[in-house]
Amino acid sequence: MSNEPQVPIQTPSIDAMRLELDTRRLALESSFARKWLPTIATAVIGLSAAMLGYIQNKVSNDATERARIEARSKDEREWGFKVVEMYFQKRELFDLSKNPEQAQANLKVLVAVAPAAVQGLLSAEQSRLPAPGGDETQQAARLSGLAVLADIQTAIADRKDHQTTQLPSTTRAPSSFVIYIQYPEGQLEAARAVQAKLQQLGYKAPGIELVRNVPSRLQVRYYRPDQKDLAASLAAAIGETLKLPTSSDNAIRVQSNKALPDGILELWLPKPAS
């Protein structure tokens, strides 16, 4: 049996325990969590409420905008059917070749309600204009009709600008251009080859026309200043197809005191080499 003295176990007094509890409570009360937790919770609740309100408001606005767009599209489709029906029933009211002033006024009225439908009508009317290379009377009628086309194109563009905030694309698809091909006697096969090449590239080349007066070299004639590079590149491509020399001088701008429309080019083949 060990003779070591026993160490008595000291039990904390009530006062000591109370002091320890007070110390811990004071530390808790002065801690960051106890001091700032209510403020943080209030801020988080307020922020969550604000975000929820923003989301609900955006969803509501998006739904309203979708409904507005759908209603506008429906109205334009309905007007489009009416415009096309009117066009076929009253063809003479839109004839650019016979009465360009009357056609211009009527088409502008229709642009306000159905710009997409009018764009389709322009393509039909454009095909009815006298081709390049006719006599003076035909060319005067052609220029008057082209001026009307340009004016209606501007009206359609303005109308679309009011309907959308999207920026216009700077890239034009080949299918948005119509190219008229003029060729002299003895160049029929060349004209057909050029037409096939243009169609292969995606351009609209609806027909070829035999004319008497042609330039001494290949020409691509354009109407708008921003189409110069396109005309030059087309001249180079056609020159390569026909084995003809080309340069930037093969792109020729058509000069007129009247506005000329977008989306039209003229291709003039020279006389065959003797």
**Domains of the chain by residue range:** 30-165, 172-274
What pLDDT, on a 0 to 100 scale, did the predictor assign at position 75? Answer: 59
User: What pLDDT, on the 0 to 100 scale, is given for residue 35?
Assistant: 59
Residue 179: the pLDDT is 93
What is residue 222's predicted lDDT score, i.e. its pLDDT? 94
Q: Could you give phi then psi for residue 172, rounded to 5 degrees?
A: -105, 135
Token pair recorded at residue 119: 């764009």
| Average pLDDT for runs of 10 along the chain of length 274 | 56 68 65 62 73 75 70 62 74 78 81 77 76 76 82 79 45 85 93 93 89 91 92 92 88 88 91 79
pLDDT at 188: 94
Nearest to 263 by CA among 231, 240, 236: 231
pLDDT digits (tens, 9 = 90+) for 68-113: 766 666 655 666 667 677 777 777 887 877 787 888 888 877 777 7
pLDDT given for residue 73 in this prediction: 60
pLDDT, residue 166, reads 41
The pLDDT value recorded for residue 274 is 67
Q: What are all long-range contacts of 188-193, with beta carbons under 8 Å and residues at least 24 apart? A: 190/242, 190/269, 190/272, 191/269, 193/241, 193/242
Q: CA angle, 85 as apex, 84 and 88 as ends, to 5°?
A: 85
Q: Which strands make up the sheet holding 251-253, listed edge to edge?
A: 208-210, 178-183, 264-268, 219-222, 251-253
- In this predicted structure, what is the pLDDT of residue 203? 92
Domain over 172-274 is classified CATH 3.30.40? no
Judge residue 111's burial from the number of C-beta atoms within 10 Å of its C-beta, 0-12 exposed, 13-18 middle, 19 or more buried. buried
How confident is the model at residue 46, as a pLDDT?
Answer: 73
**pLDDT of amino acid 199:** 92
CA-to-CA distance for 107 and 208, rounded, in angstroms?
Answer: 29
